[in-house]
Amino acid sequence: MLLFLSVPHPRPPGARTRAGATRVARWRRQRLRLQQLRRLRGLLRGLRRRPGAGSRRRGRMALCGQTAGAASLPSELIVHIFSFLPAPDRLRASASCSHWRECLFYPALWPQLRICLRVSPTEQPRLEFLMRKCGWFVRELRVEFFAENYLSGGGGPGEGGGADTRTGGDEVEALQLSSPWLEVLRTYLELVLCVLLSIRNNRNLQKFSLFGDISVLQQQGSLSNTYLSKVDPDGKKIKQIQQLFEEILSNSRQLKWLSCGFMLEIVTPTSLSSLSNSVANTMEHLSLLDNNIPGSSTLITAVELERFRLSLLVHNVSVMHKSLDNMPNDEHWKALSRKSTSLRVYIMAFDVKSEDMLKILKPSIPLERIHFDSYVTCVSGAIVDLISRQYDKFLTHFILMNDVIDTSGFPDLSDNRNEDPLVLLAWRCTKLSLLAIHGYTVWAHNLIAIARLRGSDLRVLEVTEESIDFDQGELADQDVDPVHNLIEQVSLGLSQPWHAVMDIESLSVFTEPNRHFYREMQSFSEDI
């Protein structure tokens, strides 16, 4: 008589309960990882036992060889090893053999790609290679272009006595700028084309960010159009760039992040119309900053504005060439806030007059951050008071920068006022966490009041030393050092050590406002 017994396979612990589902999944992953390690151990053991590798040293040499070692590892295992390495180590490891080099650009290894490069012809071959390998599958792409500032001295071939001293100042400057900037713009167009061509058919792209720090062209305004017409007289490359940009927007299916900060000649008033409705409804970040759009039409109409969350740049050059009459009114902002209750707005204003800011600052804007950067036009106390009254529920960051040559004549926002606008700002805006001031007079007793009003919630308080002034009564008191007393009182108010900013060059918000705004804009949208 035969008796058959059925022995059940052992169940992993916790398999019969829902609470053990996570433990079961973890157990299976551990078992799979153990099997992979055993397979790798057996492969290495087999390589050591191959004929011709009699000694341990010869076995090690065979393992390092291309045919015996690196080429024999399966591609999945190489990709798995690469996933634990940072990008520089992956590149070095890929130099082992051609098989490893083929595994280097496996899509799972490069979900995001961040490139920072100078606008130089030497960068083009490397950019072309990298974009050809990763452009068709990368999900997050961020490219930053940086060009040398030839107006700041050094780098221009016309400098150093090469120009004719009998010519006028404008002609000398033109001679110094002509050759280097023609080459910069020519290379800039080629690099932008390279990036756009490589991702034109990438339907998996979720984040796309371009930043072009062509600072001299931005400051000179019409100078860029003059040089672009010399580099691209027929406008073929410019049109190709704009068409490729619209093609990328129309082909995208998962795009949630779109940023073109300070890029020249890439955005048109019709660019956003290329987005599909499904992508437009899921867009989380949009930044299309371009000061070179001709005509008086606004870049974003009220209908398009309702789809997106925006960081806004207001430049005096843009205001001069564009009308503010077609800006979204307060009703549009109310509708947008009702549709997206988590909407927050970040505004940066370069040298914008107070009367123009009054047209832009609508009461229903959920303004969270605002940055004023001035070289000629100063912000008035009325604008600061308006901001503190309209945006007291949202404002967290307030930056006030004024780059003036005469440091003895900083404007005083509290002139002819009973209360200082900055103190009222700290009192009304209960969520204020960052306050940075340079180029405006800040009285010591007002600075102490600001620290006491906001306390430890004001995490960053940056005020330059030359911006701080003292009352005559404070200076006349021989028993108290006014500077030491200011530092002590502000530190007590903030519940942390505090000192005035001694070196203005250490603040990137002052030395590089374009780049500061770009980086703050990125972090601002990521926080949302």
What are all long-range contacts of 12-17, with beta carbons under 8 Å and residues at least 24 apart? none
Q: What is the separation of C-alpha 57 from the centre of its chain, rounded to a whole number of angstroms?
A: 52
Question: Residue for token digits 């030839």?
Answer: 150
Closest CA to 80 of 35, 137, 132: 35
First vs last C-alpha separation in the chain = 75
Q: What is the pLDDT of residue 53?
A: 45
Higher pLDDT: 155 or 49? It is 49
* pLDDT tens per residue, range 482-494: 889 999 999 999 9
* pLDDT tens per residue, range 135-186: 889 999 988 887 665 444 334 333 333 333 334 444 444 444 567 777 888 8
Question: Residue for token digits 């082909």?
Answer: 251
Token pair of 155, please?
Answer: 């780098």
How many Cβ atoms sit within 10 Å of the Cβ of residue 475?
11
Interatomic CA distance for residues 247 and 239, integer angstroms = 12
Interatomic CA distance for residues 367 and 347, integer angstroms = 8
Q: What is the separation of C-alpha 233 from the centre of its chain, rounded to a whole number of angstroms?
A: 32
In this prediction the pTM is: 0.61
Q: What is the pLDDT of residue 178?
A: 62
Percent of the chain at pLDDT exceeding 70? 69
Q: What is the separation of C-alpha 223 from the centre of its chain, rounded to a whole number of angstroms?
A: 26
Q: Which of 10-14, 131-135, 228-232, 433-437 has the lowest mean pLDDT?
A: 10-14
Q: What is the pLDDT of residue 352?
A: 84
Q: What residue type is assigned to position 345 of the chain?
A: V
Give me the mean pLDDT over the 276-288 stretch: 76
Q: What residue type is assigned to position 431 of the chain?
A: K
Helix axes of 124-134 and 169-198: crossing angle, nearest 10 degrees: 20
Mean confidence (pLDDT) of the chain = 75
Question: Does residue 445 register a pLDDT over 80?
Answer: yes
